[in-house]
Amino acid sequence: MWRLTSNYKEISGCGITGIISRKGELITGEMIIKAICCQYERGNGLGAGFAGYGIYPEFKDYYALHVMAQSRDALEKVEEYLPKRTFVSYQEFIPIRRVRTIKNPPIFKRYFVKPNLECELVDVCNIVSEEDFMVQLVMEINEKIEGVYVISSGKNMGTFKGVGFPDEIAEFFRVDEYKAYIWTAHNRFPTNTPGWWGGAHPFTLLDWSIVHNGEISSYGTNKRYLELFGYKCTLLTDTEVVAYLLDLLIRKHGLPLELACKAMAPPFWVEIDEMPEEERELYTALRILYGGAVLNGPFAILFAYNGGLVGLNDRVKLRPLVCAQKGDLFFMASEEAALRLICPDPERVWAPKAGEPVIVEMEEGTIPNQKSYLKPRPKEEREDALRIGSLPLSLLTGK
């Protein structure tokens, strides 16, 4: 497996990498392994992981639940629970290889399911959509079934993560055997949160996946804010809140991608005061409505979904993030060395500005279940109940 180094490195925390083909061409797992392992010194063996999109074409219309269980007994509890809530089309243990350095790993199994919208969960939780159902399902399992965690739950995508260096986790989960049109990867260096299998990156919910370099010092505030909307943070790592914030801001409240990024990494008040009137009103509303969603601390994040890849820095760029492009392929990483290793002759290379998202969406009609979040969702498709004083959410998302 790849374990490469470079003389040109800026050591400042974890390593992250993302790749997307705008035309939906499949990219081998070997490419993402090579890119993340170039950033080997950014980890300490306490966490690494990968998320791939397009890896389950034969089950593209099913939610792929990747379940991590600490014991057979815990797994049995999940298998008693799932048929009461879902229709399980297929299930299997996730294929793994034995790796000498990985001792006593959890059990990993995947289930391809569709929600049972006639079960009692729908009425009890006032569920109105399949996606709401699956979110509630994940929250219930992670909170109430001891020793079990759902580590990914999207359609035609999956997460593979654990305790180890990225080459070890890639070998363990046989990542080189998968092909995807979007990849994200992470090499972890835990600082203030535990290094454990569930705490490795990526963190996911539905088809959102997030990898992060840095620290979310606003974790407590973000966690309490999310709990107001029914999200449960159970994985003991600050990055988990970002996955749930993406779901809340974009899927539930209908914010377009760029505005959701600005809610998490907003302009400073002194900058807002100097904006033209209309823009000033918009960002004032955004900060008032979504104060609990602001991410404080140094961070560079990559997040993906079925249709796009986004890179975002904190408001003063305290963590590195570099992007590159060649044709319809886009690359993002903590280090330029990682990008040039897998794309030696890019057409362009750039470093995003602080707080300015880099958004790359696939060409329309390219993949099954494709989503685009560049525009506000129609009012009838979003929750429009959040108000502070006389300030409606529609001010942010359009009439």
Contact at 8 Å (CB) between 115 and 88? no
CA–CA separation, 210 and 134 (whole Å): 18
How many whole angstroms separate alpha carbon 318 and alpha carbon 240? 20
Tokens of 216: 């979310």
**Which is catalytic among the residues 14, 37, 261, 343?**
14
Q: Which amino acid is at 3?
A: R
Question: Looking at residue 150, what DSSP letter applies?
Answer: E
Report residue 133 as tokens.
């159902």
- Cis ω for the linkage preceding 276 (within 30 of 0): no
For residue 357, which of 396, 301, 274, 289 has the smallest C-alpha distance?
A: 301
- Residue 232's nearest CA partner among 314, 149, 343 is 149
CA angle (150, 303, 396) in 5-degree steps: 110
Q: Is 14 a catalytic residue?
A: yes
Please give the order of strands across the beta sheet that includes 308-313: 203-205, 208-214, 299-305, 308-313, 358-361
**Residues assigned a catalytic role:** 14
